[in-house]
Structure 1
Amino acid sequence: MTDDVTTENELRALLHAQIEAWAAADGAAFADTFTEDAVFVSVFGEYIRGRGPIAATVQEGLNGFMKGTRMLEPEVLNLHFPVPDTAILITRSGRPVPPGTTPDPDEKSIQTRVAVCSRGHWLFSSFQNTRIGGFPTPVN
């Protein structure tokens, strides 16, 4: 494994590859940041397994309800290396919005990505996206 600074730069480049693929509305390029057997849990709770199904699902969204949006630069909350060649990356970001639109500060989500390094190449093997929300107001 390389040093942590180099590895962090490689993981940030992988994140940026996702941002660029999203901006290009390219579900296949987005999925190329994942291992073949990756697991993707969407903000809606969809459980998607495998690079092909991830590409298809993301492309469907980019052609539909996410059309014309951009993925915002995530804030890295934690980057942890529990064992060699494995990283857990926790980020927070706003909801994707069209270019030039100010994101709603109350619409954020938190993402957990697990990345693995195989033959010197990092890819995400797991992704979980959870909308951040407060508890509902109790009804009396």
Structure 2
Amino acid sequence: MSAPTYADETAVRDLYQRMLDAWGDSEAYAAFFTPDADYIYGAGGVQHGWKEIIDGHDVAFSAWARNSRLEGRIERLRFLSPDVAVLLCYGHVVYLDQRSSDQNKRTVYTLVAQRIAGGWVFVSYQNTPLGRQK
């Protein structure tokens, strides 16, 4: 078993950025996850697999997340093995039509990435809204 390389870290960071960039398109966004991924969103619900991730984001993108983009940053990236990485991230929904971004749209979340068939993909996501900032 070999150690993860700089290329692996770059690939996982690129996967993350491309996922952020796909925000607003349910199918494109879900494509960054495995077909059987677990997706826990901020309100505490769980989506299993592409269909549920797509359906849930279709609702979000037609309601509270319409006309928005997702900004985020990786706080920490750890490789648990050469083929599994955990990302600790912070994110924020930004509205492009000048609506106010309320505090519950600021989140901390974890993503688990796995190398499958030579490429990196997310297998799990867990999102928690940040408490009110003082």
Normalising by structure 2, what TM-score? 0.86
Task: Quote the residue 1:15 is aligned against.
Answer: 16
Deviations 1:42-77 (A, max 9, x none): 0111111011211111121111111001101x2211
Closer/same/farther in 2, CA of residues 100 and 64 from structure 1, 3 Å limit: closer
Closer/same/farther in 2, CA of residues 124 and 44 from structure 1, 3 Å limit: same
Q: How does 1:60-99 map to 2 (within 5 A)?
A: 60-72=59-71, 74-94=72-92, 96-99=93-96
Task: Quote the residue 2:30 is aligned against.
Answer: 31
Contact 1:18 1:33 (C-alpha < 8 Å) held by counterparts: yes
Identity among equivalent positions (%) equals 26
Kindly state the Cα deviation for residue 12 of structure 1 after the two structures are TM-superposed. 1.8
- Aligned to 2:69, the other structure's residue is in SS state coil
Contact 1:28 1:56 (C-alpha < 8 Å) held by counterparts: no
Kindly state the Cα deviation for residue 106 of structure 1 after the two structures are TM-superposed. 5.0
Q: Give the residue type in structure 1 aligned to 2:96.
A: P
Contact 2:109 2:128 (C-alpha < 8 Å) held by counterparts: yes
Q: How many aligned residue pairs are there? A: 131
- Aligned to 1:71, the other structure's residue is in SS state strand
Closer/same/farther in 2, CA of residues 46 and 120 from structure 1, 3 Å limit: same
Contact 1:115 1:126 (C-alpha < 8 Å) held by counterparts: yes
More displaced stretch, 55-64 vs 120-129:
55-64
Task: Quote the residue 1:5 is aligned against.
Answer: 6
Greater CA radius of gyration, 1 or 2? 1
* Greater strand fraction, Structure 1 or Structure 2: 2
Kindly state the Cα deviation for residue 34 of structure 1 after the two structures are TM-superposed. 0.2
